[in-house]
A and B are shown apart, each in its own frame.
Chain A
Amino acid sequence: DAKTTQPNSMESNEEEPVHLPCNHSTISGTDYIHWYRQLPSQGPEYVIHGLTSNVNNRMASLAIAEDRKSSTLILHRATLRDAAVYYCILRDGSGNTGKLIFGQGTTLQVKP
């Protein structure tokens, strides 16, 4: 399974944009890039995913490098509720289950 590398922790100020990086140099052509986040004492929740093109939704934006070996999750205006562990995961598109293999994630702290 292809792996991802993320910084262990990041800090941001409230109301400022946050860029969370992820390296996935061994990504294969069929792997989708998924981002999930986990708030304390809760299960992970979906944030965004993409294959090749940049993606936007109401929660965030996903910028994917042209060679697909890295990506960046962008939270446009961080709030205190965005403090969580953010996981960047590759999901295998060649199989029929697409199981998620989680890494350690980035713990995001948001300061008021």
Chain B
Amino acid sequence: DVKVTQSSRYLVKRTGEKVFLECVQDMDHENMFWYRQDPGLGLRLIYFSYDVKMKEKGDIPEGYSVSREKKERFSLILESASTNQTSMYLCASSRTLAGLAAGNTIYFGEGSWLTVV
């Protein structure tokens, strides 16, 4: 089975701290994604990556950056955490086959619950 592992399930950080959320997938997937989920707002795409060292902004990239130095690992970075970044963060990955990604399944991690105080 495909596994997407998020390093921390629950975190509490202080305002202004630098926060790293790590995600690792074990199926050699090309594409990786970071979402955040908030009540009433659903899941919103923060950043995604379709290859090592490649990244693209999603719908809400402000206040976040990402790093993909290895194919299996995609990190979400909050440079200076703020209380409005308290949320549940979801990492996901999927394959691209013959140049097509949309026909493939996206696999999600269990989520990381971040509280910024």
Binding site for B on A (CB under 8 A): 30-32, 34, 36, 41-46, 49, 51, 87, 91-93, 95-105
Contact = CB atoms under 8 A, between A and B. Distances in A.
A98 B90 contact: no
B109 A30 contact: no
Main secondary structure of the interface of A (DSSP, over half): loop
Given A43-B90, A44-B90, A98 B101 contact: yes
B75 interface: no
Given A93-B100, A96-B99, A98-B31, A45 B108 contact: yes
Contacts of A105: 42
Contacts of A49: 103, 105
B103 A32 contact: yes
Nearest to A44: B108
A33 to B, nearest CB: 10
Nearest 10 pairs between A and B by C-beta? A98-B101, A43-B108, A98-B102, A93-B102, A102-B43, A91-B102, A32-B102, A46-B105, A97-B50, A44-B108
Contacts, number: 73
Interface residues of B, number: 30
Interface string B53-89: 0001011000000000000000000000000000000
B55 to A, nearest CB: 11
Given A30-B102, A91-B102, A96 B50 contact: yes
A30 B107 CA distance: 21
B94 A98 contact: yes
